[in-house]
Amino acid sequence: MLKNKTIGSMLIVAGTTIGAGMLALPIASAGLGFSTALTLIVGCWLLMTYTALLMLELHQYAPRDATLNTLAKLWLGKRGQYVANFSVIFLFYALCAAYIAGGGAQLQDRINTSFNVSITPQLASILLAVLIAGVVTLGTSKVDKFNRVLFSIKIVVLASLFYMLTPYVHGQHLLEMPVEQGLILSAIPVVFTSFGFHGSIPSIVKYVGLEIKTLRKVMIAGATLPLGIYIFWQILSQGIMSQNDLLNSQGLSGFVQSMASIAHNPNVATAVKLFADLALATSFLGVSLGLFDFFADTFKKADTKADRIKTALITFIPPLGFAIFYPQGFIMALGYAAIALVILAVFLPVAMVYKQRKSTQNTGYKVRSGNIGLAIAALCGLTIISAQGLQMAGLIPAIG
């Protein structure tokens, strides 16, 4: 049973990570060159895996069902709890709203095309939100099962896409260097957010139990699978097109069409669209599950049917409302998502572990590297926030 949960939890981590943001990686790294993009991807993977392990170090001293709300209050007091709550709510509501709005548009297109009917994007958004809310409300085990099916299909689609595109990879494209140094800083927040799975860690701990050895495998394997897929995806996307072609591809839709035209195969565009649907669904499941458990802990909701429905309403109604009435406003807020994620996945784990190590005897699991590792992680977080701020101020090039 534990082994079964371990595999499912790894796929939840990987499914949350390999989201629609993967499709933005080639656009974000268009002017970097493959070697520079690879360095950023591996660096962000190391940072996020390290801070995920820091979270496990904290969880062993807390109740099994503890969320970031509980952990922050335990080690950082009320102020830390407020910061944690704000970062979680801001980030997760923004992501859920974007997933509902973007997924609603995709669902509308699929329904209208497949069934020859005409529904509005708002109705499609509601249908998507109800579907995901229903799965999440049933519990982590149901999310696990549903996610396994979607993730398996996603891997098959990716493998098919790789098979169709690999013959068109040219080695000389992978040797190109950055066209502008400022683009390196601009790409950092996008690459960083593509490894964001930390919000689902408390849900996984609650699901698996406080088996630190098992949880460590879950975090490392769950984060490493996306790393491998991202690297191969970069080889394909940056290998089939030159930097100039990537830079001139006019966003995601232009990027998809460019790949399809180079491969002379309309199935490439179909496969990318299907992958986008599946990536959005698995990410939406992971993010909304983390937010659901966070609210259940914050408002002390029991695990009864009535309380789970109440928690689901708190989790899904606000982002659904914003996605329907203010889609552009919330999508703009995603520009700040990297800052919230730095607070959630870097600064808070570092601060809490630092306090925890000073206040306990550390008889359990302890992540190696000591205070030097904590300082390096915090410095990386400051770099990411600075890069996002410089881009918003127009001091470095915008991407996408």
DSSP secondary structure, 132-170, as one string: HHHHHHH-HHHHHHHHHHHHHHHHHHHHHHHHHHGGG--
- φ/ψ of residue 265, rounded to 5: -145, 110
Sign of CA dihedral 380, 385, 391, 393: negative
Burial of 162 (0-12, 13-18, 19+ CB in 10 A): middle
What span, in angstroms and rounded, lies between the C-alpha atoms of 101 and 336? 18
- Express each pLDDT in 193-220 by its tens digit: 889 889 889 989 988 888 889 999 999 9
Domain count, the chain: 1
HSE-up of 275 (CA within 13 Å, CB side)? Answer: 25
Establish if 24 belongs to a structural domain: yes
CB 203 within 8 A of CB 140: yes
Angle between helices 68-115 and 348-359 (to 10 degrees): 150
Q: For the residues 360-372, what does the mean pLDDT come to?
A: 81
Would you say how long the chain is, in residues?
400
141-to-4, 12, 150 alpha-carbon distances in Å: 11, 11, 14
Does the pLDDT of residue 330 top 60, yes or no?
A: no
Buried b (16+ CB within 10 A) or exposed e, 203-213: bbbbbbebebe
Q: Fill in the amino acid letter for 289.
A: L
pLDDT score of 45: 96
pLDDT score of 58: 93
Does the pLDDT of residue 386 top 90, yes or no?
A: yes
Establish if 120 belongs to a structural domain: yes
Establish if 150 belongs to a structural domain: yes
What span, in angstroms and rounded, lies between the C-alpha atoms of 360 and 378? 22
- φ/ψ of residue 322, rounded to 5: -65, -40
**Reported confidence tier of residue 231, pLDDT bands at 50, 70, 90:** very high
What span, in angstroms and rounded, lies between the C-alpha atoms of 340 and 349? 13
Does the pLDDT of residue 251 top 80, yes or no?
A: no
CB 28 within 8 A of CB 399: yes
Establish if 400 belongs to a structural domain: no
Which H or E run contains 301?
none
Residue 285: give the domain boundaries: 2-392
Residue in this structure with the two tokens 């709890």, named with its chain if needed? 81
Total Cβ atoms within 10 A of residue 36: 18
pLDDT score of 381: 96
150-to-15, 153, 285 alpha-carbon distances in Å: 9, 5, 10
Establish if 30 belongs to a structural domain: yes
What span, in angstroms and rounded, lies between the C-alpha atoms of 230 and 195? 10
Establish if 399 belongs to a structural domain: no
CB 69 within 8 A of CB 212: no
Establish if 106 belongs to a structural domain: yes
DSSP H helices, 29-139, are 34-59, 68-115, 121-138
Establish if 125 belongs to a structural domain: yes
Give every CB contact of residue 90 below 8 A, 6+ residues apart in sequence: 333, 336, 340
- CATH number of the domain residue 64 falls in: 1.20.1740.10
- Express each pLDDT in 43-96 by its tens digit: 999 999 999 999 999 999 888 888 888 899 999 999 999 999 888 888 888 888
User: 3-class SS at 249?
Assistant: coil
- Express each pLDDT in 275-299 by its tens digit: 878 888 888 888 888 889 888 888 8
Write out the two tokens for 157: 């689609």
